Amino acid sequence: MQLTLDNWKVQVKKGYLEFCLLLMIRTHDRMYGLEILERLATFELPLKEGTLYPLLNRLTDDGLLKASWETENLKGHPRKFYSLTPRGVESLTEMEGEFNRMVDIVFNLQKPKGST
Amino acid sequence: MNKELILEHYLSQLDRELQALPTGQRAEIITEIRSHILDKSAADANQTMQNILNGMGSPKEVAARYLEQKGVKPWTPSPARNWLKWIAISFAAMVAFVIVSTIATIWYFSPLISVDEKAGRVTLLGGVIDVNEKTGEVKVGGIHVKEDIDLQISSKDNDYTFRMNNGGANRSEGERDLSGQNVRLIKIPFNTAKIAVVVGLDGKFKWDCKNMGSNPPPLTINAGVMTFDLNKVSMAKCELSVPEAVKVELKGVNGSLSLDEPRSDLDIHVTNGKIGIRPDRSKVYDFEVKVLNGMHDNFDRSSDKQALKVKVDVVNGVVKKE
């Protein structure tokens, strides 16, 4: 049973994590990898860096994110900052609509029989 | 192993696992992962580098996620690549074998060409080919060639070249009595020849030449000038006897000339060649020798009006006193 639940979580999380990632970047305008990981952890959305970076890479390839190398101070090493592209903003808005609709469906399905 | 070495080792493994991606993309990924690890290391000094890397996952796992996200299959050496590898190795081995064999051959036969001008001998490949000008013998491996061999040695900036030629056939021998013909100059133009000139006391011009073909002797007399024209005879080898007191002019390119005890004025112009002159000790000469690109022995000058005038003008060559 536990194994089946884990599989289900993995399936659900796939799109969910990507959605949450884009939402967070939109909120902060621009973020780098470690910062994203730390913020996700506070929301109890732990993600391994070995998973995050390939995902960021793919979202950049898809044109939803753009990346730029910046050095915050002279002593620091360069960091790769991510922000949403106009296409990313547009896609995220559509995702929000779709997700809200799905939540509504789930919410309605969860209602006891005869409560509508 | 220190932190940097552990990190670089990890990143080089990751780079290898990402080989299916273009170089630019790999470099971008490696730079970002390095930046992330350095960030984590700086954020928590108590963390060991190995712990941080363990948190990342193995290079193979991380690379697999990148490739999965990009829809690229992991790189594995294909059988075709293996074939190419073995073909390349075989080719490299062949090239190495040829180079080593060549070096060994050169070393074994060294020196490749040896010229002993005094002995009139040229040996090639450590004696595999042996040409002896004096005896006219040629040895090629174990085979002796005893035909008459013509050998020419010319010099240019001390760099010797030689050529062999079978001159046994097509011999031309004859004489022309110049007594009473009022000949005051003998002209001998040539183009690639070996000419030996001696002085005869019988008033005759004599020739004994090889390589003359079936043509009649190229001898003409006109207005006191006798011309023995070797210009159109390729690689002539002549022994000439000239009357005393008649000026001789030798002019040409590629020549090996020897003049034995001249008793008349001489005018010699040679481009590429070797000239040997053996003066008559009983005569007084006024030598005027000029050599451009080459060398010459010391020849005496004289202001004596009775002195025989010997003018030698050589471009690329040697003038020797014999």
The complex scores an ipTM of: 0.83
Please compute the mean of the pLDDT values over residues A93-101 and round it to a whole number.
95
B59 band by pLDDT with thresholds 50, 70 and 90: very high
The nearest alpha carbon in chain A to B58 belongs to A50
Q: How far is A46 from chain B (nearest CA, A)?
A: 12
Residue B249 φ then ψ, to 5°: -120, 120
Angle, CA of A27, A29 and A30, to the nearest 5°: 120
Residue B165 φ then ψ, to 5°: -155, 135
Domain for residue A26, yes or no? yes
Q: Taking CB atoms and an 8 Å limit, are A58 and B70 in contact across chains?
A: yes
Kindly report the CATH number assigned to the domain that includes residue A101: 1.10.10.10
Q: Taking CB atoms and an 8 Å limit, are A57 and B66 in contact across chains?
A: yes
Q: Please report, for residues B104, B113, B114, the alpha-carbon distance to residue B101 in angstroms, rounded to integers and kept in the order given.
A: 5, 19, 22
- Look at chain A and report how many structural domains it folds into: 1
Task: For chain A, state the CA radius of gyration.
Answer: 17
Q: Which residues contact B284 (CB under 8 A, 6 or more apart)?
A: B302, B304, B306, B307, B308
Cα distance between the two ends of chain A: 32
Domain for residue A37, yes or no? yes
Select from B36, B55, B65 the Cβ nearest to the Cβ of A54. Answer: B65
Q: Please report, for residues A57, B9, B188, B221, the alpha-carbon distance to residue B227 in angstroms, rounded to integers and kept in the order given.
A: 94, 88, 6, 6
Domain range annotation of chain B: 3-70, 172-321
List the structure tokens of B138. Answer: 């040629």
Select from B31, B40, B70 the Cβ nearest to the Cβ of A34. Answer: B40
Please compute the mean of the pLDDT values over residues A63-73 and round it to a whole number.
86
List the structure tokens of B254. Answer: 């590629």
Q: Which residues pair with B308 in a beta bridge?
A: B285
Q: Which domain holds residue A95?
A: 2-110
The pLDDT of residue A104: 93
**Tens digit of each residue's pLDDT (9 = 90 or more) over B30-40:** 999 998 998 88
Chain A neighbors of B34, CB-CB under 8 A? 77
The pLDDT of residue A3: 65
The pLDDT of residue A8: 85
The pLDDT of residue B175: 87
Q: Which residues pair with B271 in a beta bridge?
A: B253, B315
Q: How far is B52 from chain A (nearest CA, A)?
A: 10
B156 band by pLDDT with thresholds 50, 70 and 90: very low
The pLDDT of residue A58: 93
Select from A49, A54, A77 the Cβ nearest to the Cβ of B69. Answer: A54
Write the DSSP assignment of B28-64 as a string of letters.
HHHHHHHHHHHHHHHH-TTS-HHHHHHHH--HHHHHH
The pLDDT of residue B112: 62
**Tens digit of each residue's pLDDT (9 = 90 or more) over B221-243:** 888 999 998 887 777 888 999 99
Distance (Å, whole) CA B213 – CA B216? 9
Average pLDDT, chain B: 81
